[in-house]
Copies of this chain bind each other. A is one copy, B any other.
Amino acid sequence: MTSFRLGIAGLGTVAQGVLDIVRENGSVIASRTGVELTIQRVASRTARPDVDLCGATFSTELRDLIDDPQVDVVLELIGGETVARQFIGDALAAGKPVVTANKAVIAAYGNELLTQFPGVGLRFEAAVAGAIPIIQAIRSGLVANRFEHVVGIINGTCNYILTAMQEQGAAFEDALARAQELGYAEADPTFDVDGIDAAHKLAILLGLAFDVPFNFDDIAIEGIRGVTPEDIQYAEELGYRIKHLGIARQTTAGLEARVHPTLVPVQQLIASVNGVLNAVLVKTDAAGDTLFSGPGAGGAATASAVLSDVLATAEAGETPTWRSGEAELKVLPVAETYSAHYLRIPALDEPGVFAQVANALSRYGISIEAAIQKGLQDHASTPPVVAIVILTQVTREADIAAAVAELEDLPQVAGEIARIRVESLA
């Protein structure tokens, strides 16, 4: 039996989840793996006498975790960027392996930390999709594959809100308020609903699958504030669900990396992943399509992933080798990416409007896959306004953006056009 001693930075829900699991499942972990986990030290700005620290020494100084020679691995569970990044760097510099759940730090500084301290051990399974062992799946389970795309529902708040809008016909604001009541969304929901959190995670998935550096700035980001119940309903009529997806894809021109609401065919399994659940769909040359779903957040679920990293550290020590690819792939500017599109065009109900729309799209080489005209949007206007809903074929982002701008200048178009990407995921 090997003893392995944890130093935990932070005392939030994930840290408490780790303490709970070590207390409840320590004996079964030991009998399975031969590793006896103990909590050596916990550091947090404020003491929490109500939390059972499993016999650990408590400090208010993070540095104590690094300086304690009895700590074998440090768990960074404080969140935030500046302090966490400094702490991870200090720990690695002192030769202490680190396990973190911090997607923001890994997305922005992961390469730097991994490159500077290659032999020490820096693991971050919990940073993406909570309990789902997706990093391990990519790095190890699918290691022999070339990746075509990695597509994920990687923000539970967005998925909860879109599911509520789908199932109850709720407006975005109402679904958000309900998510906040239930603790699925923060008081300031920006990070989640505007796609930042998903972009952090996608940057990590992109890097791992395509052997490129993690780079948050490479990700094109759109949130879900613009999605309306009508869009969800029209999408359903056309055979699609709207999901907020992170998409990392290799094309012949380079890599696409984007986070946005997306129409997904209802037959795709990922379209049925509802509520706060996360899911990641991976397409590779040998393994084909694999999908991994589960809870993307929550103290216990995240702690499950943290502890799998702790045990991997106990077993192997240093981070597994994961070098950059043969020829480094570049992430394309979003204007150069390709996607089909859903357009909802508010238009005056006059003869010839549809032809004008079709002509404008045609001038940009954009083909129409399907079109439906939906009833009155505004009874008061004269002539009445209808919604022309169009699915385009796959087109270049720059072309559709220009076409939509031109359409919005047409006198018959009565307002802003809603535009949402469509992905077949085939």
Contacts and interface: CB of A to CB of B under 8 A. Distances in A.
A332 interface: no
A293, A298, A307: which has the most chain B beta carbons within 10 Å? A293
- Of A32, A301, A307, A326, chain B has the most CB atoms within 10 Å of the CB of A32
A45 interface: no
A321 B32 contact: yes
Given A133-B140, A326-B27, A288 B301 contact: yes
A22 to B, nearest CB: 8
A298 B289 CA distance: 13
A425 interface: no
A311 B140 contact: yes
A323 interface: yes
A29 interface: yes
Contact of A292 (B25, B273, B290, B321): B290
A237 interface: no
A145 B290 contact: no
Contact of A141 (B25, B136, B146, B326): B136
Interface of A: 17, 20-21, 24-25, 27-29, 31-35, 125, 131-133, 136-137, 140-146, 211, 269, 272-273, 284-295, 298, 300-301, 303-305, 307-308, 310-312, 315-316, 320-326
Nearest to A300: B286
Given A31-B211, A142-B133, A211-B32, A286 B304 contact: yes
A324 to B, nearest CB: 7
| Most chain B beta-carbon contacts within 10 A, residue among A131, A284, A321 | A131
Contact of A308 (B20, B131, B141, B298): B141
Number of copies: 2
Contact of A31 (B140, B286, B325): B325
Given A32-B143, A132-B141, A143-B308, 20 more contacts: A21-B286, A24-B146, A24-B285, A28-B326, A29-B143, A29-B144, A31-B324, A32-B321, A32-B323, A32-B325, A33-B143, A33-B322, A132-B290, A141-B305, A143-B311, A144-B307, A145-B304, A272-B272, A290-B292, A292-B292
A239 B304 CA distance: 33
A73 B290 CA distance: 27
Given A146-B25, A294-B290, A284 B304 contact: yes
Given A292-B292, A316-B315, A131 B287 contact: yes
A334 to B, nearest CB: 26
A31 B141 contact: no
Contacts of A325: 28, 31-32
A94 to B, nearest CB: 25
A315 B143 CA distance: 13
A294 B270 CA distance: 12
A390 B220 CA distance: 53
Contacts of A326: 27-28, 31
B33 A312 contact: no
Contacts of A322: 32-33
A21 B133 contact: no
